[in-house]
Structure 1
Amino acid sequence: MSSTSELNPSKLGTKQHWDNVYAAELTNFEDIGDEGEIWFGEDSIEKMLDWVQDYASNDPAPFILEVGAGNGTLLFALHEAGYDDNRILGVDYSEDAVKLARAIGERRGEGCENITFETCDFLNDVPAPLPDMDQPEWDIVLDKGTFDAIALAEKDSEGRSPADGYPLRIGQVVRPGGYFLITSCNFTEDELKAKFGAPETGLKYHSRVPWPTFSFGGQSGNVYSTVAFQKPAQS
């Protein structure tokens, strides 16, 4: 696990790769009803859902944003757990990911079809607020693997990764008192704390979700890291 400045660029950091992935998954869904891969597996869905239920009040219903929502599995799980479908937005820069998530929502029904999915390049565009929102600030912002993918994108001529500006963007869309919850496979808990808990983001470390540990060569670690941050409420 490395910092954004040390990760080597990969096809996993290109829009073309994800466009190809979701074009194939959309075709599979239309042909055989396969909803596609669950990024990081079902355990990641359960752990993030459990955290939201433990720490984020559902009275009133929170406005929830997932950045890089893919096929929408995490957001469907939140809706099925009782969160208001009209207050949930998933954004992705791949148009076919958005088409897939919408199609899955329509197929599942029971309110899943009311979850909003929109195409948005988060690093350059602010997600449009939902109808009941006064401004584009969210009670809960979620990331399950998106920061990992962005960190694998090509660096600019000065060696900076597009991911370097991502924590600040996240801080801008979390409302005061709101939360950001991230699951990563490329960054340790301490690295996530350093990046998203930096003063300029306006976020502070809140809590962590434990994962099983492994030991190798006298060192122990986790395959994934899930960490929560909160933006302090304004006094």
Structure 2
Amino acid sequence: MDLEPSKLGTKDYWDEFYNRELSNLRESGDTGERWFDENGAVDRIVNFIEENDILKGDVLDLGTGNGHLLFELQDNEPDTPYKFTGVDYSHQSVELANSIAENRENMEFIQADILDPSWARNRKWKVILDKGTMDAIALMAPADVHSERPLSRYPKAVEQLLADDGVLIITSCNLTQSELKQLITQNTKLSAWKSIQYPIFEFAGQKGQSICSLAFKFADTH
């Protein structure tokens, strides 16, 4: 799997995008884009977490955007004592999420580069969510001709953030389930655990899903 670099993999693109979202929020109260909404991804992720009794500690949302996934998860578990943290490398994204969150308790948003886990200061999370952020990283260009693609750093970076008995749930529209499994498990101690089911489409005799969501755990916690 080797996707061509795209503007969707640049920080400038996302800064401009969330700057527009901020303007829309201030002008009309519109809280912004719900990524993969046409697939019901947020509801399916929230239901999956509830059905599998996963919410047993603090939650981290990678590339949180407007924070929508965290808000939906917290609203579904209003009495939970756990903390919900969203991280994004776009300052405008963090400002947008904070503006929407207003006075929510146990909610924080942090500007940081998730590929550099030092921002977390050795903190670990029981639940880590990624809805489309890995897809954007897959579209990032290397720093120079001698550098690896940033996506190659993603699995190890995320592994360092996950608690020993935690669950990582990644939702992707660019990778198939098998490609996602290979990427995450190849050079980490993580293994695929369960998948979230989406509607199946058929085209030219082939069946598939437009997106996939796969949950991972450390291999010795199954």
Same fold (TM over 0.5): yes
Task: Choose from 59, 69, 75 the match for 1:74.
Answer: 69
- What is the TM-score with the length of structure 2 in the denominator? 0.92
CA contact (8 A) 1:86 1:116 kept: no
Q: Which residue number in structure 2 is paired with residue 121 of structure 1?
A: 113
Q: Does 1:46 align with 2:43?
A: yes
Q: Which residue number in structure 2 is paired with residue 207 of structure 1?
A: 194
Q: Does 1:103 align with 2:99?
A: yes
Q: Deviations over 1:12-47 (max 9, x none)?
A: 000000000000100110111000100111611001
Whole-Å separation in 2 of the counterparts to 1:182 and 1:88: 17
Secondary structure of 1:65's aligned partner: strand
Whole-Å separation in 1 of the counterparts to 2:211 and 2:119: 27
Structural mapping, 1:178-189, within 5 Å: 178-189=166-177
Q: Which residue number in structure 2 is paired with residue 227 of structure 1?
A: 214
Q: Which residue number in structure 2 is paired with residue 173 of structure 1?
A: 161
- Please identify runs of 4+ aligned residues in structure 1 that moved more than 4 A: none
Q: Deviations over 1:53-80 (max 9, x none)?
A: 122444xx41100110000000001110
CA contact (8 A) 2:124 2:160 kept: yes
Q: Which residue number in structure 2 is paired with residue 22 of structure 1?
A: 18
CA RMSD of aligned residues (A): 1.8
Secondary structure of 2:120's aligned partner: coil
**Percent of pairs with identical residues:** 38
Consecutive unaligned residues of structure 2, counting only runs of 5 or more, are none
Consecutive unaligned residues of structure 1, counting only runs of 5 or more, are 130-134
Whole-Å separation in 2 of the counterparts to 1:195 and 1:40: 21
Superposition deviation, residue 159 in structure 1:
6.4
Secondary structure of 1:8's aligned partner: coil
- What is the TM-score with the length of structure 1 in the denominator? 0.87
CA contact (8 A) 1:91 1:127 kept: no
CA contact (8 A) 1:213 1:220 kept: yes
Task: Choose from 83, 89, 98 the match for 1:93.
Answer: 89
Secondary structure of 1:167's aligned partner: helix
Secondary structure of 1:201's aligned partner: coil
Tell me how many residue pairs correspond in the alignment: 218
Q: Deviations over 1:166-213 (max 9, x none)?
A: 011111111111110010000000001111122x32111100001111
Matched residue type, 1:82: E
Matched residue type, 1:92: D
Q: Which residue number in structure 2 is paired with residue 132 of structure 1?
A: none
Whole-Å separation in 2 of the counterparts to 1:181 and 1:22: 24
Whole-Å separation in 2 of the counterparts to 1:227 and 1:139: 16
CA contact (8 A) 1:185 1:224 kept: yes
Q: Which residue number in structure 1 is paired with residue 137 of structure 2?
A: 150
Matched residue type, 1:74: L
